[in-house]
Amino acid sequence: MHNSSIRLAKKQPKQRMSRKGRAPANKGQRFPAELLTREEVQRLIGGCSRRAPTGRRNAALLAVMYRSGLRVSEALDLRPKDICPNTQTVRVLCGKGSRARTVGIDAGGLALLDAWLEVRKERKISRSAPLFCTLGGGPVSATYVRQMIKRMALRAGIEKRVHPHQLRHVFACELVGESVPLPHIQRLLGHSSLATTSTYLAGLRPQEAIDAIIARPSWTPDGQPDS
């Protein structure tokens, strides 16, 4: 083999292989979003210990992603100064596309945040540390959050594929159900355009299309009215 051929072969990207030497059957496959119900989200958050320090942190983290619609990266980038209890707002400085925004948070979410902030105070964690940090003040990784939420789902008996971004999905769909105008939802989600928000929501609400099919006039194979 010529040297040029050897160099070309070395440049070829390696394909991820399964243990049997074949590429995984689901390589590159994207699954449709599975929307969690409010009751399932409550079970997720309720599964976090209210006594263990890390349980309080995790409950507060999940509540902020759910009630304020934050991406996991945005939540992990927060600092204590980004939370304003008086105005019930959360300032997101490191949004997608470097777009900053301010979102709200309700009393229930603030209550869980207060419980975690009390832990931080007791452990004398520096205010310069990330809002959601380790007990030693270090950063929490997105990988940890993904693994944690899967544990909570298993504990809660939820059989859907569960990941942190689903909390943002529920936030968006609940706003639609509450008749919040689309431009407001766009700003809360931090989208660059209304078209992005419309596409985002369309992929999360398949039940509307299903309900339309179910509501169609009855039909039978023999053409006779369905009695």
Asked, for residue 224, whether it belongs to a domain, the answer is: no
Identify whether 11 is a catalytic site residue: no
Which residue among the candidates 155, 160, 165, 184 is catalytic per the annotation? 165
Asked, for residue 12, whether it belongs to a domain, the answer is: no
Among 60-74, 89-103, 116-130, 155-169, which is the least confidently predicted range? 89-103
Residue 205 banded pLDDT, cuts 50, 70, 90: low
| pLDDT for residue 98 | 73
Asked, for residue 95, whether it belongs to a domain, the answer is: yes
Q: Residue 68, Cα to own-chain centre: how many angstroms?
A: 11
**C-alpha Rg value of the chain to the nearest Å:** 23
Asked, for residue 195, whether it belongs to a domain, the answer is: yes
| pLDDT for residue 74 | 96
Asked, for residue 138, whether it belongs to a domain, the answer is: yes
Q: Is this structure's pTM higher than 0.75?
A: yes
Domain harbouring 198, CATH code: 1.10.443.10
Mean pLDDT of 152-171: 92
| pLDDT for residue 4 | 47
Q: For residue 202, give the amino acid letter.
A: A
Asked, for residue 60, whether it belongs to a domain, the answer is: yes
Asked, for residue 134, whether it belongs to a domain, the answer is: yes
Identify whether 169 is a catalytic site residue: no
How many domains does the chain fold into? Answer: 1
Which residue among the candidates 22, 38, 96, 99 is catalytic per the annotation? 96
Among 16-25, 108-117, 182-191, 193-202, which is the least confidently predicted range? 16-25
Identify whether 200 is a catalytic site residue: yes
How is residue 133 annotated by DSSP? Answer: B
Identify whether 191 is a catalytic site residue: yes
Q: Give pairs for 105-113: CB < 8 Å, separation 24+.
A: 105/64, 105/67, 105/68, 106/67, 108/63, 108/67, 109/60, 109/63, 109/64, 109/66, 109/67, 109/68, 110/85, 112/45, 112/56, 112/59, 112/60, 112/63, 113/60, 113/63, 113/64, 113/83
What does residue 22 show for φ and ψ, rounded to 5 degrees? -115, 150
Q: What angle do CA 150, 163, 186 make, to 5 degrees?
A: 155
Could you give the C-alpha distances from 139 to 6, 60, 76, 129, 175, in angstroms and in order? 43, 15, 8, 8, 31
Which tops the pLDDT comparison, 203 or 67? 67
Query: Which is nearest to 78 in space by CA: 42, 68, 121, 184?
Result: 68
Contacts of 10 (CB under 8 A, 6+ apart): none
At 105-158, the pLDDT tens digits run: 999 999 999 999 999 999 999 999 999 999 999 999 999 999 999 999 999 999
SS3 for 111?
A: helix
| pLDDT for residue 35 | 84
How is residue 134 annotated by DSSP? Answer: -
Identify whether 144 is a catalytic site residue: no
| pLDDT for residue 20 | 47
- Full residue range of the structural domain in which residue 99 is found: 38-206
CB hemisphere CA count around 180 (13 angstroms): 17
Which residue among the candidates 56, 57, 168, 169 is catalytic per the annotation? 168
Identify whether 163 is a catalytic site residue: no
Q: Residue 211, Cα to own-chain centre: how many angstroms?
A: 26
Asked, for residue 190, whether it belongs to a domain, the answer is: yes
Residue 41 banded pLDDT, cuts 50, 70, 90: very high
Which residue among the candidates 56, 71, 120, 169 is catalytic per the annotation? 71
| pLDDT for residue 102 | 94
